[in-house]
Amino acid sequence: MIRYVAQRILLTIPVFLSVLTIVFLVVRVLPGDPATAALGDYASKDAVDALRERLGLNDPLPLQYVRFLADVLRGDLGTSMINSAPIGDQIAHNLPYTLELTLAALLVGVTLGIPVGVYMATERNRLPDIVGRVASLVGLSVPAFYLGLLLILLVGVQLKWLPAIGGGDLTEVGDSLTHLILPALTLGLVMTASVARLARSAMLNVLTQDYVRTARAKGIRERSVISRHALRSALIPIVALTGIWGVALIGDSVTTELVFSRPGLGKLMVGAMLQRDYTTLQSTMVIYALFVVGINLVTDLAYGFVDPRIKAKG
Amino acid sequence: MNAVASLRDRDALLRSAPTRSQRRRMWDTFVGNRAAVVGLGLAVAITLLSIFAPLLASHDPLAQDGAGRLKPPDDLFRLGRDAFGRDVLSRILYAGRISLVIGTASVLLGGTVGTLMGLVAGYSGGKLESLLMRAVDVLMAFPSLLLGLTVLAVLGPGLEKVILAIGLLLSPPFARVVHGATLSLKEQEFVSAARAVGAGHLRLMRLHILPNMVGEIVVLVSVWTASAIRVEASLSFIGLGISPPTPTWGNMIRDGTTHLINAPWLSVFPGLAILLTVLAFNLLGDGLRDVLDPKLQQ
C-alpha cells in the first residue's frame, strides 16, 4: 500500500507539469496578443511593445516557459497586469470559498448518489428505478447555473429559508454554512445524477454474478447481500470515475459561484478574463491545475483503498 | 481492371455492415425504447422550431420598446418581455439557432479530428500512438469548461471561435473511444483477411475498421452534442462567445439574473429551453446506445 501511495504521489508530477504546459500554451500560442488585448485595439504600437517587454512576451518561448515554471515552483504567482496587486493575496482570499464549495458538493454527490443508485438497481424497472432514471438524466442535462437559479428562486426568494447571495463570513461557522447550503446543493445535485447512474449500472453488473447468487442461496439477508457482497465490488468503478466528476465539478463551480455571487476562484478568474488581466488569469488557472491534480490523487488513493487487489499487492 | 473489381467484391464480403434483418431488429429496439423516441421527437421538434424561427417568431428578437420594459407574459408576448422590451419567446426561438449550429458544428469538427486521431493512433501504434494518446490524456485531465473559457478569452468573441473552442474540447473523448475500438478491431480476422488479399493501410482503415465503429461514433455524437450545447450555454452565461445583442440562451439568462426577483421569466424560460434541448440529445444518445451496443443494454 505504501508503495502504491508513493507511486501515485510521484505520478502527480508529470500530470501537474502537463497541465501547467497547457495553461502556458493556451495563453501564448493561440492567435491573439495579451498586450494588445489588455490595451485595446487602438493602443499605439509603442505602448503595446512596452507592455510586451514588461510581461516578457518578447523573449523566446522556451525561455518564457522556464521562467513560468520557475515562478510557479517558487510559489510566486506574480502581480496583476491591470492594477499591479499581488495575485497571491487575491487567491488566498478567494481559495477557501471555492475549496469549501467543491468539498461540500463532492460530499453531497457521493453520499446521495451511491445510495440512490444502489436503490434504483435493487428496484430495477419498477417505479422508483424509472423515476430515478428520468431524474438522473434531467440532472445530467441541466446546467449547474440554471439549477442554482431555480434554487435561489424557490428557497431563497419564495420560501426565504436561506440566504441566496454571497459567500458569508468565513470566520463565523453558522453564517458561512447557511451561505454554503444552496450552492453546494446545486453542484452536489448535478454530480449526484452522474454518480447515481453509474452506481446503478455497476450494481446491476454485480447483482447477476455467481457469488451474489451463492450468497443469497446461503440464506444471507438481502440487505447484507447488497451492502456487504455486491456493493463492495461495485464501488471500484464508482470510485474510479469520481475523479472525472470531481474535475467536471470544478468547471461547474465557476458558473455556480457567479450565480450565487459568491467570492471564489471562479469569480476571480472570470473577473480577470473580462478585464483581460492575463497574469491573474494564468495564475488562477495554475491554482485550478493544482485542484485537478489534488482531486485525481485523492481518487487514486481511495481507489487503492476499495480495491483489495491493489491493497494486497502492497 | 479485373483485379480492382474482384478486390471490391472481397471488400463487400469482408465488411460486416448490418444486414436487412439486423437493421429491422435495431429499429424495433429503438422504437420499443420510449425514452429514446421521446428524445428523438424533442430533438426534431427543437431543430424545426429553430430552422423556422423567422416564420414562427411573432416579433423581431432585436426590436426594443421602452414602454414594454420587463412586462410579464401576456397574450401578445407569451413569455414576457426583457429589460429592453424585447419579446422573450422570439429571442428564445432565434437563440435556438445559435445553440444548434454551435452544437452540431463543434461536434462535427471535434468528432472528425478526434476520430482521425484515435484511428491513426490505434492503427499505427508505437511512438505516434503514445504521443497522441498522451496529449488526449492531458487535455481530458483539465475541466472542459475551464479550458474552453481560457481558449475563448484568448481568441475573443465570435461564432466560429466558439465552435473552434468547443470542438477542441470534444476531440479527446472521440479520440479515446475510437482508439480503443481500433485496437480491438485491427486484431480481428476479417481485417487480417483483408490485409492478406492486399489492402493497404488507408483502405483497411477506411473500409474495414472505420465502418465497424459507426455505432460507437453515432452514440458519441448524440451525447456530445448535448454536452456541447450545455458548455456553450455556460460560456455565454459567463459572458464569452457570442456578443450581444444576438440572443443566446446563456446570455439571456445572464441578462435576466439582474431582474431575477421582479422578472423571473427572463431567466426561467431560456433555461428551460437549454434543459429540454440537452435532455433531448441525452435521451437520444442513451436510446442509440441500447440499440447499437446490445452488450450495455439493461
Which pLDDT value is given to residue B5?
52
Report CB contact under 8 Å: A143, B282: no
Which pLDDT value is given to residue B87?
86
Residue in chain B closest to A142 (alpha carbons) equals B275
> Which of A30, A142, A247, A260 is the best residue to mutate to test the B interface, defined by the most B CB atoms within 10 Å of its own CB?
A30
Which pLDDT value is given to residue A279?
84
Average pLDDT over residues B116-120: 93
Which pLDDT value is given to residue B106?
96
Which pLDDT value is given to residue B295?
54
Name the residue facing B143 among A248, A259, A276 (closest C-beta).
A248
CA–CA distance, B267 with B251 (Å, rounded to integer): 9
Query: What's the predicted TM-score (pTM) here?
Result: 0.86
CA–CA distance, A35 with A38 (Å, rounded to integer): 5
Measured in angstroms, the CA of A210 and the nearest CA of chain B are apart by 18
Average pLDDT over residues B75-84: 80
Give residue B1's pLDDT band: very low, low, confident or very high (50, 70, 90).
Answer: very low
Report CB contact under 8 Å: A141, B278: yes
CA–CA distance, B35 with B239 (Å, rounded to integer): 34
B233-278 tens-digit pLDDT: 999 999 888 888 889 999 999 998 888 888 888 999 999 999 999 9
Task: Tell me the one-letter amino acid at B271.
Answer: G
Report CB contact under 8 Å: B141, A251: no
Q: Does B32 touch chain A (CB under 8 A)?
A: no
Q: Does B229 touch chain A (CB under 8 A)?
A: no
Say whether pLDDT at B189 is over 80: yes
CA–CA distance, B38 with B26 (Å, rounded to integer): 17
Measured in angstroms, the CA of A118 and the nearest CA of chain B are apart by 15
A274-297 tens-digit pLDDT: 777 888 888 998 898 888 888 888
Give the CA angle between residues A140, A142, A263 to the nearest 5°. 110
Nearest to B285 by CA among A38, A140, A172: A140
Measured in angstroms, the CA of B10 and the nearest CA of chain A are apart by 39
Which pLDDT value is given to residue B276?
95
CA–CA distance, A214 with A92 (Å, rounded to integer): 55
Q: Does B262 touch chain A (CB under 8 A)?
A: no
Radius of gyration of chain B (CA): 23
Nearest to B231 by CA among A144, A262, A261: A144
Taking all residues of chain B, what is their mean pLDDT, rounded to a whole number? 85
Give residue B298's pLDDT band: very low, low, confident or very high (50, 70, 90).
Answer: very low
Which pLDDT value is given to residue B10?
53
Average pLDDT over residues B129-134: 88
Name the residue facing A254 among B145, B233, B298 (closest C-beta).
B145
Which pLDDT value is given to residue B151?
85
Partners of residue A145 in chain B, C-beta under 8 Å: 234, 237, 253
Q: Does A288 touch chain B (CB under 8 A)?
A: yes
Average pLDDT over residues B194-217: 87
Say whether pLDDT at B3 is over 80: no
Q: Is-contact B209 B191, C-beta < 8 A? A: yes
CA–CA distance, B171 with B180 (Å, rounded to integer): 14
Say whether pLDDT at B176 is over 80: yes
Which pLDDT value is given to residue A30?
64
Name the residue facing A143 among B147, B155, B274 (closest C-beta).
B274
DSSP string covering chain A: -HHHHHHHHHHHHHHHHHHHHHHHHHHHHSSS-HHHHHH-TTS-HHHHHHHHHHHTTTS-HHHHHHHHHHHHHTT---B-TTT--BHHHHHHHHHHHHHHHHHHHHHHHHHHHHHHHHHHHHTTTSHHHHHHHHHHHHHHHS-HHHHHHHHIIIIIIIS--S--SS---TTSHHHHHHHHHHHHHHHHHHHHHHHHHHHHHHHHHHHTSHHHHHHHHTT--HHHIIIIIIHHHHHHHHHHHHHHHHHHHHHHHHHHHHHTT--SHHHHHHHHHHTT-HHHHHHHHHHHHHHHHHHHHHHHHHHHHH-HHHHHH-
Measured in angstroms, the CA of A298 and the nearest CA of chain B are apart by 14
Partners of residue A153 in chain B, C-beta under 8 Å: 260, 264, 268
B27-73 tens-digit pLDDT: 887 777 788 899 999 999 999 999 998 888 788 888 787 777 778 88
Residues lower than pLDDT 50 in chain A: none
Q: Does B158 touch chain A (CB under 8 A)?
A: no
